[in-house]
Amino acid sequence: MPEQSPTSAPTPNGKTAMIIGAGPAGLMAAERLAGEGYAVTLYEGMPSAGRKFLMAGKSGLNITHSEDLETFLTRYGTARERLEPHLRKFGPAQIRDWCAGLGIETFVGSSGRVFPTAMKASPLLRAWLKRLDGLGCKIHYRHYWTGWNDAGQAVFKTPDSPTNGETTATADITILALGGGSWKRLGSDGKWMDILQNEGIKCTPFKPANCGFEVNWTDHLIDKCAGQPVKPVTLTCRTQTVRGEFVISKTGIEGSAVYAISATLRDQWLETGTATLTLDLAPDRTLEDVTARLAKPRGKNSMGNHLRKSLGLDATKTALIFEVTPRETLNDPAKLATAIKSLPIKITKPRPIDEAISTAGGVAWEELDETFQLIKRPGTYCLGEMVDWEAPTGGYLLSGCFVSSTLA
């Protein structure tokens, strides 16, 4: 394990930094700037730091991904050009070293995703906050940013203020790390967008990312399959195909494979008002093999038993086939094989944005220089999910937020 970095405050450089938002992007910026000698003060609207970070870690904190860097970089889509220089400086390998420096061991899961050995986010966050304290960083909680006053000071609404519930602050540089527009109860309510737009800063409207989708299931399917996984399966929308698993919910579909294809599915829905997801329920078999197996006499077996015995399809996959396949198709082995290999699921719409794991949209790239500084407001930087980029789950989201480590 690399030796832990020192937690004593570095030699001051005489400059101050104000960071608004104590999520992963803000905390990383605080660490790097404090390490360069800035006197750093963080302001957080919630009563504690990293609330969405902690929520993400409840099912196992996926902090980055172990795949080769060139493949890793492709996960950032149209934002790759802007993020790549920073991800090359502080990418997956550096993130794992950074965790080790906090005393947090990591391991690579079977999918290539990287997790802390303890799986949880709370030990890492505690160690991180302890490091920031050792670097001299101050954190003011329950300080909700409401914009700037006429004097250019940042204004905060806070119960800690003795006068009018407001306080102001200034610094040599300001870091905005206010998050996206989902999971409002954890602090990222996206209201900052109105503030910046009123300052003449262009922002792209929020869209759900890594989200579930609604499907008009019958009551019968909901009663039989809600909460059940569908695996293994491949999902295709337009030219994108992913393999994995998803879960049937009462309202539609969700889960890792759905999140991986969600941007393509969402954009198709936004452009056309409709979207179709095509499932291959037998991804390890060819169409010819499926057809041949289905063509064998089933005798007294029900169709469900025939599908189970000939193809190994479980009750959930069988229920999906019955849900969307016409009766005449079920009685034709060739047509049924085609349906099993390309089962169409019609999407009605994405789930509400506040339920999404993350959001696309935010501060437009054209408003930022190569260091994430607002061109129209020199000395103010925007970091993390509040910038207009998106990435799938799998460690890519946090890695994208951590690029603020290159700011200093």
Strand 106-108's sheet: what is its strand order?
64-65, 113-116, 106-108
337: which 2 tokens?
Answer: 């094989």
3-class SS shares of the chain: helix, strand, coil, % to 5: 40, 25, 40
Please state which CATH number belongs to domain 16-208+360-406.
3.50.50.60
Query: What is the reported pLDDT for 275?
Result: 96
Rounded to whole angstroms, the Cα distance separating 1 from 329 reads 59
The number of CA neighbours under 13 Å toward the Cβ of 263 is 18
Query: What is the reported pLDDT for 11?
Result: 86
Under DSSP, the state recorded for 304 is H
268: which 2 tokens?
Answer: 């198709």
> For 144-160, what is each residue's pLDDT tens digit?
999 999 999 999 999 97
Rounded to whole angstroms, the Cα distance separating 348 from 253 reads 11
Query: What is the reported pLDDT for 60?
Result: 87
**Which residue positions in the chain have pLDDT lower than 70?**
1-9, 163, 407-408
Query: What is the reported pLDDT for 7?
Result: 52
Region(s) of the chain under CATH 3.50.50.60: 16-208+360-406
> For 257-316, what is each residue's pLDDT tens digit?
999 999 999 999 999 999 999 999 999 999 999 999 999 998 889 999 999 999 999 999
Q: Is the dihedral of CA 106, 256, 23, 159 positive or negative?
A: negative
Query: What is the reported pLDDT for 216?
Result: 97
Query: What is the reported pLDDT for 6?
Result: 46
Rounded to whole angstroms, the Cα distance separating 368 from 201 reads 10
- Angle of CA points 190, 194, 198, to nearest 5°: 155
Query: What is the reported pLDDT for 49?
Result: 97
